[in-house]
A and B are shown apart, each in its own frame.
Chain A
């Protein structure tokens, strides 16, 4: 039996949705219970990650993209905008909404700002849970804007089905400056601020990186087999991230970005990668939960003294941590011999 909060969220109540997000962000028992109830309703949304260096125009791009989705196919769009918490005070100024003014007054859009709260990647600990809530609440497109620094790309690429990496001219944009590994995670490369001088330079740098990046590993990743083709056709299952130039302040190039996202989603579905990513992500979530539960159960069943004794033995170097685990798990006889 679903409780009131969950039912209100499923029924489209926006205040309930906002309050549930807070509950989940604070990891309250009510929030956890609701997440479980909502889980069967998840798995429908297209999660789009938007990452890139600070100030490249991520929020402005998200603003335009969401507008585009509302105008062209009336899809419900949720935006989760993550900004860093201060490591000293734990406080934060979340300013991404400043660039998303155009989305207000639109019932099909829900924007939520999120402080990273000590999480080191570009996402907060509860960002994934937020995407599940929006997914269950019927938002077909869920866009996550990361903190523009750190390991954000890797985290968001794991979470999202489609990852957009935003570059802008004038950020020291030669090959060396463009972060290594970006091609591993970018599904769509956007060069924003195309109205600024230096776009051609940024584009050239990105193109040569794309050309350098041997397609074989990507083929392997997508296909499970190595291929020798240098310029494979689209239907061979290789996705080469398109480069799209945009001016996020006036909307130039946004339709093209949306089109690239749609083609990428199509590619994931046809290649079977949509399903395999979903499986991998949920698999590791299950594993983490199992680990936690087993640890909790273990500590419920063991006497504190016995455990402390084992810690002592490890400290005296009488047992290695690994050996100690063996002993703890099966009450093994080696205990007597040491």
Chain B
């Protein structure tokens, strides 16, 4: 039996065009041996949940620098659950003010990362969450 690969969807929900962070993280995860499905910009929560389902990913990584995370993230978590993908771990990166973090964690977001976050930490945390 082949070794199980960690499959990660890296998506950019909403309308902002900041895609550097998403691409940096996608590449870092690839270099850590993961299979990363990159969806590109301007994804609706519905599109992200659908891609997560078809790709049967273990992790959904959202990159949001627009400030709309409190609207987008809960909706995506909700859709994943509605689709029966409640085991999928959700990670968020981008610009998330400290005061929003507790609520995001409460709704089941596994990890949150801001500017300058180390990709090594992200990789470590994803691996940890897969255990």
Binding site for B on A (CB under 8 A): 14-15, 18-19, 21-22, 25-29, 85-86, 89-95, 97-98, 101, 104-105, 110-113, 115, 117
State whether the Cβ of B83 lies closer than 8 Å to any Cβ in chain A. yes
User: Do B54 and A92 touch across chains, with their CB atoms under 8 A apart?
Assistant: no
- What is the size, in residues, of chain B's interface with A at 8 Å between Cβ atoms? 31
Known A-B contacts A93-B27, A104-B47; A111 and B54 likewise in contact (beta carbons under 8 Å): yes
Binding site for A on B (CB under 8 A): 1-2, 4-5, 7, 26-27, 29-40, 43, 46-47, 50-51, 53-56, 83-85
Chain A-chain B contacts (Cβ-Cβ < 8 Å), number? 83
- Tell me, rounded to whole Å, the shortest Cβ–Cβ distance linking B20 to chain A: 15
User: Do B55 and A18 touch across chains, with their CB atoms under 8 A apart?
Assistant: yes
Known A-B contacts A14-B53, A93-B26, A104-B51; A113 and B34 likewise in contact (beta carbons under 8 Å): no
Residue of A nearest to B36 (CB): A93
User: Do A93 and B32 touch across chains, with their CB atoms under 8 A apart?
Assistant: no
In the assembled complex, the Cα of A29 lies from the Cα of B2 at a distance in Å of: 11
Known A-B contacts A97-B37, A98-B38, A101-B40; A89 and B47 likewise in contact (beta carbons under 8 Å): no
User: Do B40 and A94 touch across chains, with their CB atoms under 8 A apart?
Assistant: no
Q: Looking at A19, A92, A105, which has the most chain B CB atoms within 10 Å of its CB?
A: A92
Contact of B50 among A19, A89, A104, A112 (CB under 8 A): A104
Contact of B56 among A19, A89, A105 (CB under 8 A): A19
User: Do B38 and A93 touch across chains, with their CB atoms under 8 A apart?
Assistant: yes
Q: Looking at A15, A29, A93, A110, which has the most chain B CB atoms within 10 Å of its CB?
A: A93
In the assembled complex, the Cα of A21 lies from the Cα of B39 at a distance in Å of: 19
In the assembled complex, the Cα of A21 lies from the Cα of B53 at a distance in Å of: 11
User: Do A97 and B51 touch across chains, with their CB atoms under 8 A apart?
Assistant: yes
Residue of A nearest to B52 (CB): A18
In the assembled complex, the Cα of A287 lies from the Cα of B31 at a distance in Å of: 38
User: Do B30 and A89 touch across chains, with their CB atoms under 8 A apart?
Assistant: yes
